[in-house]
Structure 1
Amino acid sequence: MPNTLIVGIDISSQSNSIFFIDDAGNQLIKKPFSLPNDQEGANELIKRVIDCLSQYNLSYVKFGMEATSHYGWHLHLYLASSSELLPYKPTFYVLNPSIVKGFKKIYTFLPKTDNIDAVVIAECVRFSKLNPTPLPDFKYAALQRLTRMRYHLVHNLTREKNRALNLIYLKFSTYSQDCPFSDIFGKASCAIIENFTPDDIASMPLEDLIKFVSDNGNNRLSDVNKIAEILKTAANRSYRLHPLLAEANDLALSMTLENIRFMQEQLKKLDKEISKLLKAFSQTLTTIPGIGDVLAAGIIAEIGDIKRFKNEAALAKYSGLVWTQYQSGNFNAQETSLAKCGNQYLRYYLVEAANCVRVHTVRYKAFYNKKFSEVTKHQHKRALVLTARRLIPLIFAMLSKGQIYQERGDVYNT
């Protein structure tokens, strides 16, 4: 006899489409209905859920909702905190859209509408053996807001730098390949790019160029004479940009470099705040050589409570650091691709951590070099991702048992 109400909710920014079934598959309403995605709509949903539970004498309620960006965040928390629903022991299932999409394929000729999706979500909760989605831990959630912001900021900064390199090439075609500075976007380098054209540098007295480089390098550059000579040589070899394009290109380049400087300052602010929030966590990841506060925070924020994961394989799957398998009969594919599912933020921070750890530790450096030498294509990317996967058992052990890193390959309890 049915005893559970299953509520399928297809969420959007302004409204939610909702459908009711029981755990036997009986449709308890004729068709899905819509409610506003706000507090009033949530209150009306609670009222209708309780009415349905009473009408059909059901004892429990399950809510299924598709993970649609952040639009389900408030509804999930509001329903979970409802004292009216508490006697019915509500459980929540926030479903990955790929799961819903795959499940929907068993229903042929269904249109793609929010109403139909609400039905599919409810059926997905009924049939699938899914673990309930826990409520977010606000301590982790606060850290996660900042580490995810940093992820997007780093990617935006990379795009701006690529745009700047294109503009620099137009202005000074040999500058990128002959750049005598360790950082092409450093203070002295940007001063050269913004203030001079190749003609200016080629015609400028060497002594004046040396003084300009020295002043803008804060007297920290080791050999300003050599730097000035390299700039002179590069200027003589460079193409010249047409005068009609030069002014517009200079403006675009100046604005792009300004964006880069702004983002770099934002990164510094974020890193300080991330380090501050990380102090609230008892963690040992920063004992791994190469992993600092930012990388540790990014990993911890996405993992949350490590007890959610049965073993390191489950953590690897959650991060998307797993590989597809292709086998048919006696054939078993030797080359398989990275699944690239799971948590993209966790995968990013794990790969970044692996890139730092392989520089600072003997065993991970050896593993990286071994994987690098195994192939002739995509050597660095492949070796780095495999090193990140290799790092997961260590991270799982350290977070699970509060252990610290030891270079010989062991970890010891604190």
Structure 2
Amino acid sequence: MQKRENLLYVGIDLHKESHTAVMVNCWNEKLEVVVIENKPSEFRKLVEKINRKSNHLGLEPIYGLENAYSYGRSLAVWLIEKGYIVKDINPALAYDQRKSAPMLRKNDEHDAYCVATVLINQLHTLPDAKPKDNEWTLSQLVNRRDLLVKDGIRFKNGLHEQISMAYPSYSKFFSEIDGKCAMYFWKTYPSPVHLQAKTAEELTIEFKEISRIAKKDKAELILDCVQNDGNTFREYQESRDFITTSLVRDLEHQKEELAGLDQEIEKILLSFDYKLTSMPGIGTSVASKLIAEIGDIRRFSNADKLARFAGVAPVKFSSAGKGKEQSSRQGNRQLHGLFYFLAVTMVSKPKNGVPNHPVFYDYYMRKIGEGKTKSQALVCIMRRLVNIVYGMMKNKTEYREPIREEKQ
């Protein structure tokens, strides 16, 4: 174990364009301040200044970065590759250190000093920074995919708004507004005025070029609905038609980008050698989100710590030996939402009445029988899922179906 008095503590406040580093000794004395731009050519200058100071004092430098996985990721990777010790400082710890001062100050130099103070006080409990390229790239792909999915929802809502004015009965002939035939129809016939003199036979031929299963009944239904809706033409119809076709183009582009992203995610998932998709209910999208949010599974020594990180484990509030456990509102809320989604999926019953996962459903009903509410029973399912996901990632094993207890 390293002795605190033998180290030179370097706290770094990270920003998009620049970083501020403060050198501090074990007695919390500020020695020097260095400001650099956030680019690799400046990193060497920072290290050279720190090395000169550490050699002069006969100390070994140790770096503390406030969230080494965001703006400071490039610096963290560079320092680790050069063989330096880099600790990841949770921003909440630096915030608490800053708030504990009798006079509140907020500037880059003081923030860096607070990071260095946390590094001194919690040296042996802080985690090492381990920014890996595959984990970072996967998280970027997952974030990009989430944004595209949200864009698709906005585009479809906008298309619903436009189509409902031009075709009030559109839901009768297209159950999915973004299907192949539907997208072709909205782009070619954004309003009924473009359907004038169009016969059912001609429309059927066009649909068959898009989908082989297109039938004449579909075209006849469209024309009948348009006729029964009456005249929906309004002034400035051309401008609204442009909006409709523009939204269709956006949806088509969104689908192409989404398909490309899914391919990239599938490729990068191979580098992790995890077999999460072998578990029912976990597809490529959910598996990639789990890995992106959890990161390096080795930083959790057991499943209990992963459960606390995900906000699944209860928190005990007590005083004078009295108190009770309550559900946690802390932890990674994205990861918490993923486990909640999985728990609901496991105990859900599709239209056939058979639960998606009989073993989890039996466990869910048993907990309800013990007096727990449905929400509490779902938390129990989430806790079990945490154990399973942790074991699969830790040992890189496939999912093994639990033995189902036969009812007496």
Q: Normalising by structure 1, what TM-score?
A: 0.77
Corresponding residue number in structure 1 for 2:177? 184
How far, CA to CA, are the matches of 1:304 and 1:140 in structure 2?
6
Show the 5 A alignment for 1:34-53: 34-53=35-54
Show the 5 A alignment for 1:257-296: 257-296=248-287
Q: Which residue, 384, 388, 398 being the options, matches 2:392?
A: 398
Corresponding residue number in structure 1 for 2:116? 122
Q: Deviations over 1:346-386 (max 9, x none)?
A: 556555655655564223456678999x889xx9xx99887
Show the 5 A alignment for 1:78-89: 78-82=78-82, 86=83
2:31 partner letter: L
1:49 partner letter: I
In structure 2, do the counterparts of structure 1 residues 75 and 184 end up closer, same or farther at CA, with 3 Å as the change threshold?
same
Corresponding residue number in structure 2 for 1:229? 221
How far, CA to CA, are the matches of 2:317 and 2:169 in structure 1?
47
Corresponding residue number in structure 1 for 2:57? 56
**For the Cα contact (< 8 Å) 1:12–1:68, is it kept in 2?**
no
Identity %: 24
Corresponding residue number in structure 2 for 1:110? 104
1:403 to partner: Cα distance: 3.6
Q: Deviations over 1:31-88 (max 9, x none)?
A: x442222233211211221122123332x33212222773211111112222xxx4xx
Corresponding residue number in structure 1 for 2:73? 73
For this pair of structures, how many residues does the alignment match? 390
Unaligned 5+ segments in structure 1 are none
Corresponding residue number in structure 1 for 2:7? 4
Secondary structure of 2:398 counterpart: strand
1:213 to partner: Cα distance: 7.7
How far, CA to CA, are the matches of 1:109 and 1:28 in structure 2?
21
**For the Cα contact (< 8 Å) 2:16–2:38, is it kept in 1?**
yes
How far, CA to CA, are the matches of 2:318 and 2:226 in structure 1?
55
In structure 2, do the counterparts of structure 1 residues 260 and 197 end up closer, same or farther at CA, with 3 Å as the change threshold?
closer
RMSD: 4.0
Show the 5 A alignment for 1:300-319: 300-319=291-310
Corresponding residue number in structure 2 for 1:20? 23
Corresponding residue number in structure 1 for 2:353? none
Question: Does residue 358 of structure 2 align to residue 362 of structure 1?
Answer: yes
**For the Cα contact (< 8 Å) 1:201–1:231, is it kept in 2?**
no
How far, CA to CA, are the matches of 1:206 and 1:189 in structure 2?
17
Question: Does residue 191 of structure 2 align to residue 195 of structure 1?
Answer: no
Q: Which residue, 220, 226, 235 being the options, matches 1:243?
A: 235
**For the Cα contact (< 8 Å) 1:11–1:72, is it kept in 2?**
yes
Q: Deviations over 1:212-237 (max 9, x none)?
A: 6843661325x762685377447745
Corresponding residue number in structure 1 for 2:151? 156
**For the Cα contact (< 8 Å) 1:161–1:260, is it kept in 2?**
yes
**For the Cα contact (< 8 Å) 2:186–2:248, is it kept in 1?**
no
How far, CA to CA, are the matches of 1:61 and 1:145 in structure 2?
31
**For the Cα contact (< 8 Å) 2:30–2:113, is it kept in 1?**
no
Secondary structure of 2:256 counterpart: helix
Secondary structure of 2:163 counterpart: helix
1:9 to partner: Cα distance: 0.9
Q: Deviations over 1:80-136 (max 9, x none)?
A: 222xxx4xxx43223333332233211243233222211221122222464223322
Q: Normalising by structure 2, what TM-score?
A: 0.78
Q: Deviations over 1:139-175 (max 9, x none)?
A: 4444444334323332333333333333334444554
**For the Cα contact (< 8 Å) 1:5–1:21, is it kept in 2?**
yes
Unaligned 5+ segments in structure 2 are 349-355
Secondary structure of 1:110 counterpart: coil
Secondary structure of 1:405 counterpart: coil
How far, CA to CA, are the matches of 1:239 and 1:153 in structure 2?
36
1:186 to partner: Cα distance: 0.7
